[in-house]
Amino acid sequence: MTAVSVCIANHNYGRYVGRAVESCLAQTHDDLEIIVVDDGSTDDSLEVLEQFAGRITCLSQPNAGQFISVRRAFEASRGDLVIFLDADDLLDPTTAARAVSEFQRVPAAARIQWRLRVVGPEGEPTTDTFPPREWKMPAGDLRDHVLRRRTYIWPPTSGNAYPRTVLDLVFSVVGDETPLIDLLLAETTPLIGPVVNLDGVGGSYRWHGGNFSGSSGMRRDAVGFLHDRINETVAGHDIVRRLCEKQGIDGCPVEPTAALDWAFAGYRLGSLRLDPSTHPLAGDRRWPVALQGIRGVLTQPDYAFGARWKRAAWFAATSLAPNSTARRLVERAYLAPPTASTFSDVPADPA
């Protein structure tokens, strides 16, 4: 039987982590283990986790961040398939079994993915899913798309299962970086094998207003947020290049700015308009970046017609507007607090 490991990184989610664990214990797949790494929580997380002693493996460490916690959980696991479940999310009871079935059907798969229903802090139902039902979630051979465009629609961390061999390969090319785990795996796994979709939803994404912990600073400092996203994309591109070199994959752009990545172009244009003197990429200029963003979004497959033009209009207006208006456009896109309806696509969406 294919073994499944569910790896949970927890930091101060004592309010939710018990229910995440319970959703894993309710899986219908028999050969399943649960690894929780508590990342220096200062709330009651460890007390909550103690009630599951003997049924889960719980590791504790000083606060080191999500990526290091996830990687430690993976290294402690044994599963042939691995699910990285966020500590505030839930798995549906049959999700592990369904993922195993698809993995057995497509053994070359590098990722099995599913949508998540959006629920409130206490599990209150909503009509939303993440990604939304109206957005096509691409599957199959996505290698050329990722190398040419980088951006596509993918589910958050809790909406994926990965073969162990794929994760071993990805982690082997990560150096001292501490990338965002969902972004890292979205950019690298399609280069290793096909992506497979499960029908319907496979779990619940709990919306409680503090979900985007990696970008929480964006509500206070748009320039800092944009610089972080630019630097993360550049670092991620370096990891992709190392993976391509290791696997003998052709077609990886030398420079991260060469990809038709409209989301990356949005970060760059926003940074150039808000504070060009501290912009991280010396070779960037406003007009070429804006035109690259317009071209990227208008030719992006799987996006609705209206969504393409809405984003293209943002690039045009942000590049042409006086400084004060451009600032308002950028801050509206990146500084406004996310709401429960912020599920348009991944990554960030200037809208």
**How confident is the model over 177-213, as pLDDT tens digits?**
999 999 999 999 999 999 999 999 999 999 876 655 4
pLDDT at 110 exceeding the cut of 50: yes
What band does 303 get if pLDDT is binned at 50, 70 and 90?
A: confident
Are residues 228 and 334 in contact, defined by beta-carbon separation less than 8 angstroms? no
pLDDT at 271 exceeding the cut of 90: yes
The pLDDT of residue 209: 66
Helices (H), the chain: 17-25, 45-50, 66-76, 95-105, 143-149, 164-172, 181-188, 222-247, 262-274, 286-298, 305-320, 323-334
pLDDT at 327 exceeding the cut of 60: yes
pLDDT, average across residues 82-89: 97
Q: Where in the chain is the domain with CATH 3.90.550.10?
A: 4-211
Lowest-confidence segment of 50-64, 84-98, 126-140 by average pLDDT: 126-140
Cβ contacts of 203 within 8 Å, gap of 6 or more? 23, 85, 89, 90, 91, 92, 95, 114, 116, 117, 158, 159
Lowest-confidence segment of 189-193, 233-237, 306-310, 314-318 by average pLDDT: 306-310
pLDDT, average across residues 322-342: 79
The CA distance from 37 to 61, in Å, is 7
Domain 4-211: assigned CATH number = 3.90.550.10
Are residues 263 and 292 in contact, defined by beta-carbon separation less than 8 angstroms? no
Copy the structure tokens of residue 313: 């209009």
CA distances from residue 79 to 7, 142, 161 in whole angstroms, order as listed: 10, 25, 11
Buried b (16+ CB within 10 A) or exposed e, 322-339: eeeebbebbeebbbeebe
The CA distance from 278 to 72, in Å, is 35
- Could you check whether the bond before residue 350 is cis, i.e. omega within 30 degrees of 0? no
Copy the structure tokens of residue 301: 């497959």
The pLDDT of residue 141: 98
- Could you check whether the bond before residue 155 is cis, i.e. omega within 30 degrees of 0? no
The pLDDT of residue 59: 98
The candidate with the shortest Cα–Cα distance to 250, out of 147, 109, 141, is 147
What band does 304 get if pLDDT is binned at 50, 70 and 90?
A: confident
The CA distance from 242 to 194, in Å, is 19
The pLDDT of residue 218: 40
Cross-strand partners of 113: 160, 197
The pLDDT of residue 135: 86
